[in-house]
Amino acid sequence: MTQDSLTFLGTGTSYGIPQIACRCSVCNSDDPRNTRSRCSAVLKAQGQNLLIDVTPDFRSQALREQLVHVDGVFITHVHADHVFGLDDLRPLNLNRDVPTPVFADAESCIQLRTIFSYIFCTEERRPGIPWLVLREIKAGQSFQLGGASFMPFSVEHGRWPCFGLRYKDFAYITDAKRIPRRSQAVLSGLKRLCLDLLRDEPHPTHMSRAESLAAVQELGGPETWFIHMGHEVDHTPFERALPENCHLAYDGLKIEVNP
């Protein structure tokens, strides 16, 4: 059986790093790990490729990683930086005889039907249109893809709900300010984690370094890779100051999720 893994397609915050027209040192850095496309990942679970979010950078991310197959898509929330690459899934499902499921909560399904009405107005296959179907998920109720089982849970992204995903002893949490207690219960015994860390300064809808590190502690100190970083985060010095079990993810990094 192939090893379960996660490939970081993108690790940057909503504007992407470098930010357009920014003259800061991180946006003009020579370190390739300071170039961060919008936040997304491919979770390979029991041979199934589950794409987590589809960013406006999806086309270049898929070309870079030579991604040729997606079995399902998980949408964490409907912000532009997490869904606006959906149309670029078109070439990935041309040879399938079933549509690709897009797993999202009820509110996200409504928003996706509005934004991408030409995709989701029918479940029939049509030329020139990605063949995708919405599959509604609920926090605390597992869903299946092939033989793999995933547990979605909700986190607070300011006033917006956002969904995290647990697979075995691994969890992926992007765009979070707080992990509510009911979701912390779903996360017991976690060994590996990906978690939002925007920057040092507090922010109304994302975790700061102090908040992210506190959340890792509360979850029992799993080995953690931080994601959704802003241009305040300079990879090498920032990572050097992190505890031993914490790392900064970067675009193209691949990790084992259940070693």
Q: Is 81 in the site for Zn ion (CB under 5 A)?
A: yes
Tell me, residue by residue from 212 to 241, as one string, x for binding to Zn ion by CB under 5 A and - for no binding. Answer: -------------------x----------
* Closest CB 57 distance from Zn ion, rounded Å: 12
Is the Cβ of residue 18 or residue 222 nearer to Zn ion in the bound state? 18
Q: Is 57 in the site for Zn ion (CB under 5 A)?
A: no
Is the Cβ of residue 7 or residue 14 nearer to Zn ion in the bound state? 14
Q: How many chain residues are in contact with Zn ion, going by CB under 5 A?
A: 9
Is the Cβ of residue 35 or residue 48 nearer to Zn ion in the bound state? 35
Residue from the set 33, 36, 44, 79 that interacts with Zn ion by CB under 5 A: 79
Q: Is 53 in the site for Zn ion (CB under 5 A)?
A: no
- For residue 239, the Cα-to-chain-centroid distance in whole angstroms is 20
Q: Is 27 in the site for Zn ion (CB under 5 A)?
A: yes
Residue from the set 175, 196, 211, 251 that interacts with Zn ion by CB under 5 A: 175
Q: Could you list the residues that contact Zn ion (CB under 5 A)?
A: 14, 19, 22, 24, 27, 79, 81, 175, 231
